[in-house]
């Protein structure tokens, strides 16, 4: 079997494992390593100190597996349709439901993709005696976007997400590093051109220039990664997002052309039911999230990527979202949190939200 034939075989196995696309990249040092180092030096990673760890392995991915020669990169689409009629899945963030980034609404993709990647890695090892393989999915010191771009799965957009003609940016990435010598795929050309819609639409100005994200301004950073109280000056910019943010993707022309369409230029969009919002979580409104107890939290968010923010963070975010919506109907829930919640961070967010809403009832609660 030639290198190209072996690559094609692994790509077919990736599709059989449940992924939507696959490509192969070689493992030379990352071309944009200097850009990554400057971003770290300038503090673009905010409080995510782990991104500054194991930098040598991030920049030289061959170090991640002894004898590694290639990496199989895979993509899993996470914006499914509602059904065979081709209508898009209904957006749950209506009147009350907390606004959540689309990738996190269903089952935790780490678990979903991890299981498939481990099965794929075992198949590689069993089918090619003497070969080794190691899977990753948003874990370890892997610059996934850089490798996936090298493998032809997409090209970096100005919003720092990976863009493809087939799926816009609504897809997740994973990798299988292997000692097999595979024929690499060809990278794609730029897809952004002169468009700056993502930069113009970012609510907090986190996209400070094309292809650069300042995490210290990003809604996703504050609502997911940051622990403790969110600085007062950052709260208003979070809007009513409680976990992540999709604004820079929602305005992207490569994503807009797919909204409400069952056909993507002759290609049926992928359907992954595990990534849909489960019914019990869909019934949870902002007040319910603010007041959720430990036992209910564990039940409702079992197997969810939203647990990354922890119970304290989600309740903090819910209070801030209520304050930013500025509606008097939230005063009762916020007043209870201020008077009764055991978490000082949540109480502080509730107090801020009451002050932002204003009115006699809010002042009385304060």
Residue numbers annotated as active site:
138
**Alpha-carbon span 361 to 354, nearest angstrom:** 9
Q: Are 118 and 177 in contact (CB under 8 A)?
A: no
Q: Using CA atoms, how far apart are residues 18 and 21, in angstroms rounded to an integer?
A: 9
The three-state DSSP-derived secondary structure of 332-348 is: HHHHHHHHHCCCHHHHH
Is residue 146 within 8 Å of 187, Cβ to Cβ?
Answer: no
Angle at 49 (CA atoms; ends 47, 54), nearest 5 degrees: 160
Q: Hey, which residues does 21 pair with through a beta bridge?
A: 75
* Gap between the Cα atoms of 326 and 338, Å rounded: 17
Q: Percentages helix, strand, coil for the chain, rounded to the nearest 5?
A: 45, 15, 40
- CA 173, 8, 133, 168: dihedral to nearest 10 degrees? 0
């Amino acid at each position: 079997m030639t290198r190209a034939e072996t690559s094609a075989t692994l790509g077919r196995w990736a599709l059989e494992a449940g992924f939507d696309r696959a490509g192969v990249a070689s493992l030379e040092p990352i071309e944009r390593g200097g850009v990554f180092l400057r971003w770290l030096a300038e503090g673009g990673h905010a409080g995510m100190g782990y991104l500054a760890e194991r930098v040598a392995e991030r920049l030289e991915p061959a170090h991640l597996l002894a004898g590694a020669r290639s990496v199989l990169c895979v993509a899993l689409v996470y914006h499914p349709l509602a059904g065979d009629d081709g209508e898009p899945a209904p957006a749950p963030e209506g009147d009350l439901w907390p606004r959540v980034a689309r990738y996190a609404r269903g089952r935790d993709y780490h678990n979903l993709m991890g299981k498939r990647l481990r099965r794929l890695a075992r198949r590689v090892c069993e089918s090619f005696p003497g070969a080794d393989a190691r899977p990753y999915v948003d874990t370890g010191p892997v610059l996934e976007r850089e490798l996936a771009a090298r493998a032809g799965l997409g090209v970096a957009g100005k919003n720092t997400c990976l863009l493809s003609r087939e799926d816009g940016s609504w897809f997740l990435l994973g990798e299988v590093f292997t000692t097999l010598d595979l024929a690499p795929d060809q990278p794609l050309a730029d897809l952004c051109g002169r468009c700056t819609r993502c930069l113009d639409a970012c609510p907090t100005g986190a996209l400070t220039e094309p292809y650069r994200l300042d995490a210290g301004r990003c809604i996703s950073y504050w609502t997911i990664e940051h622990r403790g109280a969110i600085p007062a000056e950052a709260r208003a910019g979070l809007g009513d997002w409680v976990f992540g943010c999709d604004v820079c993707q929602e305005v992207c022309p490569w994503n807009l052309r797919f909204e409400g369409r069952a056909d993507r230029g002759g290609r049926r969009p992928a359907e992954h039911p595990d990534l849909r919002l489960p019914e019990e979580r869909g019934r949870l409104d902002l007040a319910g999230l603010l007041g959720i107890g430990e036992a209910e939290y564990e039940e409702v968010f079992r197997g969810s990527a939203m647990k990354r923010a922890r119970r304290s963070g989600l309740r903090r975010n819910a209070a801030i979202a209520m304050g930013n919506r500025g509606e008097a109907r939230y005063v009762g829930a916020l007043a209870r949190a201020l008077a009764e919640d055991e978490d000082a961070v949540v109480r502080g967010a509730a107090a801020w939200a009451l002050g932002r809403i204003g009115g006699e009832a809010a002042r009385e609660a304060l």
